[in-house]
Amino acid sequence: MAKSAILDLPLSDFMRSEIALPLQHVLHLYTVGSLLRAWRSPRNQKSIEQIFDTPEQAHHAVAVCAAWLGIQPIASMSVPTQWWSEPARAAMQAQ
């Protein structure tokens, strides 16, 4: 089975820079794949949550990345504040 190209997608391509840059430079998480791997550890989850505006925002971002791979996310009733970049949002709406 071939590796999904989404795993190599840089976080800076779709996340707000004030979130993507600390993930990249502080936690050394550069791609969707590295974010999802790091999320498996409760200790890393806490560090990732601290970079986002809210923990819910971090959970939503990881759920969206997982959904891109076909993994069913756990439903959430709340909608977090925006964590994605405007160009990424425009590109998604154009499709």
pLDDT in tens, 9-53: 999 999 999 999 999 999 999 999 999 999 999 999 999 999 999
- 59 domain-assigned: yes
DSSP state of 80: P
Helices (H), 26-72: 32-39, 42-51, 55-68
**Confidence label for 70 from pLDDT (cuts 50, 70 and 90):** confident
- 2 domain-assigned: no
- 34 domain-assigned: yes
- Coil, helix or strand at residue 10: strand
| Cβ within 8 Å of residue 59, ≥6 positions away | 49, 76, 80
Distance between CA atoms of 63 and 58, rounded to whole angstroms? 9
How many independent structural domains does the chain possess?
1
What average pLDDT does range 64-71 have in this prediction?
A: 88
pTM of the model: 0.75
Distance between CA atoms of 42 and 34, rounded to whole angstroms? 15
- 52 domain-assigned: yes
Host domain of residue 33:
15-94
